Structure 1
Amino acid sequence: MECISCATITNKYKCSKCLAPYCSVNCYKKHKELPECAERSAAKQKTQPAKDVQEEEPTIYPPFSTDDTVPITLLQQLSHSEPLRQLLHNPHLRALLREIDVAHNANLAMAAAMQEPLFVEFANACLQVVEPMTDAEKEDLKLCS
């Protein structure tokens, strides 16, 4: 794909409004000031049917599944978890989640977050929804406590 501003071959970034590819911050700044960004965004919205579901973040990489990929149906169950709702009332936890979301090195950010007891509690609450413990695992946990 060619950068929308300088025509350099790139696959690094896409404009969040119109999904046009760009290669650097400078090219993005030039692009977003041009009326073609708004025009492409409007044209894109006209061609897409209205969705009730929140639109996914634009990405240049197609989703792929691994053994660790959680099915979307289980992820949607997270929104119905009362323990998660209670934890998310904590502003410190929300700030941690925002930091992880925008971190340049996600692995490093997750490793740092896992040092926080509140984040560990959040991660465990998520796991209880998407991968509940078996009876044998619960017994093992009782023995360790």
Structure 2
Amino acid sequence: MGPRQCEVCKDAQSKYKCPSCLAPYCSLVCFKKHKEIPCVKAVSPEPKPCPIKLPEKPCQVDEPTLLLQKERLESLAFSSEVREALKDVELQNVIGKIDSSTGAENELDRAMENEIFRKFTEKVLSIISP
């Protein structure tokens, strides 16, 4: 990436970046002008994991031993592979379709024919039952 233009004066090539918001500026004069209006700290590229919130809808379980322990749920929630996979819109649609279906088991069977969903479930299973 080549040289950037000063965001304050829009004339000169920037030599510096604001330590808070990373806006490019060319001189002390432009930096002081930039700081007249408080700026926002730049967002880090890697989001911090959010606290785990369990779904509020009731869950009926025929076999209580099949419920995941909190540690397994946390390892799943904090998995960078799972988080990355969940950014896929097609996968989101498949999961949403299963979740909103009145025949979720049949919908899950159909979803397993989808390669993206199948690979995702394999990833999940490898995390919860290593």
Displacement of 1:85 in angstroms is: 1.4
RMSD value over aligned CA atoms? Answer: 2.3
What is the CA–CA distance in structure 2 between the aligned matches of 1:62 and 1:90, rounded to whole Å? Answer: 29
Q: Provide structure 1 residue ranges, at least 5 long, that are not aligned to the other structure.
A: 1-51, 133-145
In the superposition, relative to structure 1, how do residues 68 and 109 fare at CA in structure 2: closer, same or farther (>3 Å)?
same
- Deviates further, 122-131 or 67-76: 67-76
Displacement of 1:56 in angstroms is: 3.8
| Residues 39-78 of structure 1 aligned to structure 2 (within 5 Å) | 54=53, 56-59=55-58, 65-78=63-76
Partner of 1:83: 81
Q: One-letter code of the match for 2:119? A: E
What is the CA–CA distance in structure 2 between the aligned matches of 1:77 and 1:104, rounded to whole Å? Answer: 29
2:97 equivalent among 93, 96, 99: 99
Residue pair 2:52, 2:74 contacting (<8 A) in 1 also: no
Q: One-letter code of the match for 1:85? A: R
Q: One-letter code of the match for 1:115? A: E
Displacement of 1:68 in angstroms is: 2.6
Displacement of 1:55 in angstroms is: 6.1
Residue pair 2:52, 2:77 contacting (<8 A) in 1 also: no
TM-score (ref. length: structure 2): 0.53
CA-to-aligned-CA distance 1:77-126 (integer Å, 9 cap, x gap): 11111111121111000010100101101110100000001001100110
What is the CA–CA distance in structure 2 between the aligned matches of 1:99 and 1:117, rounded to whole Å? Answer: 16
Please say which structure displays the higher CA radius of gyration: 2
The count of aligned residue pairs is 80
What is the CA–CA distance in structure 2 between the aligned matches of 1:72 and 1:64, rounded to whole Å? Answer: 19
Identity within the alignment, %? 20
Q: Secondary structure at the match of 1:115?
A: coil
Partner of 1:123: 121
Q: Provide structure 2 residue ranges, at least 5 long, that are not aligned to the other structure.
A: 1-50
